Structure 1
Amino acid sequence: MTNTRTELDRLEHQIGQANPDIRHKLEPQLRRMIARLHDEGIAVPDQTKSLHEMLLCEAIEAQFDNMPV
């Protein structure tokens, strides 16, 4: 658990430091980390769930930013 938790903390820090315009690209890594926590029977922190939802929203918005009008 300690290793997984350390990796999660590192990833959340990386996301927090990332450029807001491209940080949504880290969503797949966070999704895999959440799946890993589930597989190991570790409860996913609410903060991590909220961060994942935020990245999903940002990814959806980024898709629409590139659509021609």
Structure 2
Amino acid sequence: MSDQELLQQAEKIEARLNGANPSLRLELQPKLSKVIENLRANGTHVPARLKRLDAALCDEAIEARFDNMPI
């Protein structure tokens, strides 16, 4: 997949995340992370907004795991 196609895929995921419910955000997090990983592997600059979005989604995924832990 070309860098341009990867960026377009990331932007599509970003658009789906706008206003998405928490379960959809958790579902899309690994997909966005994979696209960003592929961009980095290709040596392509990853826009800061996508890095921030990925970091926020990773934080949400970690929080969701802790929310389900018994006390």
Q: Which among 49, 57, 60 is matched to residue 58 of structure 1?
A: 60
User: How many residues are matched?
Assistant: 68
Equivalent runs, 1:32-51 vs 2, <5 Å = 32-51=34-53
1:12-59 CA-to-partner distances (Å, cap 9, x unmatched) read 11122421x211232111111011111222101110110111011101
Displacement over 4 Å in runs of 4+: none
The percent of aligned pairs where both chains have the same amino acid is 37
Letter in 1 for 2:28: L
Letter in 2 for 1:2: Q
Structure 2 segments unaligned to the other structure (5+ residues): none
What root-mean-square deviation, in Å, do the aligned CA atoms of Structure 1 and Structure 2 show?
A: 1.3
| TM-score of the two chains, using structure 1 as the length reference | 0.84
| TM-score of the two chains, using structure 2 as the length reference | 0.82
- Measured in 1, the distance between the counterparts of 2:30 and 2:48 equals 18
SS in 2 for 1:43: coil
Structure 1 segments unaligned to the other structure (5+ residues): none
